[in-house]
Amino acid sequence: MPLDPAVLEREFPEFEFIPERGKIREFALALGLEDPVHFDVEAARAAGFDDLLAPPTFTRQFWHENEENDPMVHLGYDPKRRLHGEQEFEYHKPLVAGMALRGRNVIASTREKEGRRGGKMTFVVIETRFTDENGELVQVARRTLIETAAPPKEAEKE
Amino acid sequence: MTYKAGGPLPEIVKAPVTKVQFVMYAGASGDFNPIHTDDEAARERGLSGVIAHGMLSMAFLGQLAESAFEAGSVRKLEVNFRGMISPGDVITLRGHVAEILDVDGRPLARCEIEAVNGKGDVVTKGTVEAWMG
């Protein structure tokens, strides 16, 4: 299915993102991290951070919050053909527990490409910018979502 | 930390990944796609069983970046997802410094990094940029 053009016109409202200590510890634990800057507030402060430091991919956690706000669910992609092809994070300031961040999603770019087995592949890059209480940029995330020409199973049969 | 262009980053070998870890990561990240936690749902999608979240492998590469440099010194992390990780896989995280850039007098290391499974397949590959001072 081609990309629903209405999604490109859509405005995605700003949302709140407050990284909590418990959520940072839970995330770090799931990864098997050991660096105390993610677990122990005193250690984080001794290392020069105001509070527990979020691991580098932590803002992934906001994707499920406030789904109406996530461009992914409005692309009209067939979930069976949807791939998360690439991911990028750009860091401007340390992201620590207790910050009151604001996030905003935009569709940064779209393109189509001929698939290797025929049919069109659609690429969409969703960019999320997080700013702090002073409006300063903290982090930018870019997610490349691909809709493949055919579901992987059928493609393999060809 | 200081590196020279071409030099390796200290390698990390993760403990074998487990189904419990996929459940923990699902809860921590909010990604409840059942192909990561429910074998039956994974099989319906043509997989032989649950697979790790791609973002878990990226998070592992974030660990490589934070341990090779200092926590908080990473400027950019980007990856593309190439392969799947299954329960029991031992993931090795490795990389090398591709070049050292001078950004307004501050040294920035640009490194090529990858997560490799037990069979030697690269499952996730990308680059990291981190400040060295």
pLDDT in tens, A8-33: 888 888 999 999 999 999 999 999 99
**How do residues A17-74 score in pLDDT, each as one tens digit?**
999 999 999 999 999 999 999 999 999 999 999 999 999 999 988 776 667 788 888 8
Residue A91 pLDDT greater than 60, yes or no? yes
Q: Give this prediction's pTM.
A: 0.93
Task: Name which of A52, A69, A80, A87 to mutate to probe chain B: the one with the most chain B Cβ atoms within 10 A of its Cβ.
Answer: A87
Please report, for residues A31, A57, B41, B44, B46, the alpha-carbon distance to residue B20 in angstroms, rounded to integers and kept in the order given.
11, 20, 16, 21, 22
- Nearest in space to B34 (alpha carbons), one of A79, A60, A141, A61: A79
Helix axis angle for B54-68 and B19-29, nearest 10°, is 80
Asked whether residue B3 is assigned to any structural domain, the reply reads no
Residue A126: the pLDDT is: 94
Sheet holding B12-13, edge to edge: A15-17, A101-114, A120-131, A137-147, A82-91, B74-81, B122-131, B106-116, B92-103, B12-13
Residue A2 pLDDT greater than 80, yes or no? no
Asked whether residue B94 is assigned to any structural domain, the reply reads yes
* B115: amino acid identity, one letter: A
Q: Show the domain range for B119.
A: 12-131
ipTM of predicted complex? 0.96
Query: Which member of B30, B56, B77 has the closest CB to residue A89?
Result: B77
Q: Is A153 helix (H, G, I), strand (E, B) or coil?
A: helix
Please give the DSSP secondary-structure letter assigned to residue A57. T
Total domains in chain B come to: 1
Task: Name which of B24, B29, B110 to mutate to probe chain A: the one with the most chain A Cβ atoms within 10 A of its Cβ.
Answer: B29
State how far the Cα of B114 lies from the Cα of B118, in Å rounded to an integer: 13
- Nearest in space to A63 (alpha carbons), one of B26, B60, B128: B26
Q: Domain with B85 in it: what CATH number?
A: 3.10.129.10
Residue A152: the pLDDT is: 54
Token output for A79: 């979930």
Token output for A141: 């995330």
Asked whether residue B7 is assigned to any structural domain, the reply reads no
Residue B22: which residues within 8 A CB-CB, separation 6 or more? Answer: B36, B37, B50, B52, B53, B56, B87
**How do residues A106-153 score in pLDDT, each as one tens digit?**
999 999 988 777 788 999 999 999 999 999 999 999 999 999 887 655
B58 touches chain A (CB under 8 A): yes
Residue A154 pLDDT greater than 80, yes or no? no
Residues in chain A closer than 8 A to B75 (CB atoms): 90-91
From first to last of the 133 residues of chain B, give the pLDDT tens digit. 789 999 999 999 999 999 999 999 999 999 999 999 999 999 999 999 999 999 999 999 999 999 999 889 999 999 999 999 999 999 999 999 999 999 999 999 999 999 999 999 999 999 999 999 7
Q: For residue A3, which phi and psi values (nearest 5 degrees)?
A: -60, 135
Residue A63: the pLDDT is: 74
Residue B133: the pLDDT is: 78
Asked whether residue B4 is assigned to any structural domain, the reply reads no
- For A36, which residue in chain B has the nearest alpha carbon? B71
CB contact under 8 A, B74 and A56: yes
How many CB atoms are closer than 10 A to CB A5?
Answer: 9
Residue A133: which residues within 8 A CB-CB, separation 6 or more? Answer: A99, A100
State how far the Cα of A112 lies from the Cα of B47, in Å rounded to an integer: 27
Maximum separation of any 2 CA atoms in chain B, in Å: 55
Residue A148: which residues within 8 A CB-CB, separation 6 or more? Answer: A81, A83, A115, A121, A155
- Site of tokens 């501050």: B106
- CATH code assigned to A6-18+59-147: 3.10.129.10
In the structure, what pLDDT confidence band is assigned to residue A156 with cuts at 50, 70 and 90? very low
Does residue A48 contact residue A137 with C-beta atoms inside 8 Å?
no
Asked whether residue B5 is assigned to any structural domain, the reply reads no
Please give the DSSP secondary-structure letter assigned to residue B37. T
In the structure, what pLDDT confidence band is assigned to residue A158 with cuts at 50, 70 and 90? very low
Cα A100 versus chain centre, distance: 18
Asked whether residue B32 is assigned to any structural domain, the reply reads yes
Please report, for chain A, the start and end positions of each structural domain, with discontinuous segments joined by +. Answer: 6-18+59-147
A48 touches chain B (CB under 8 A): yes
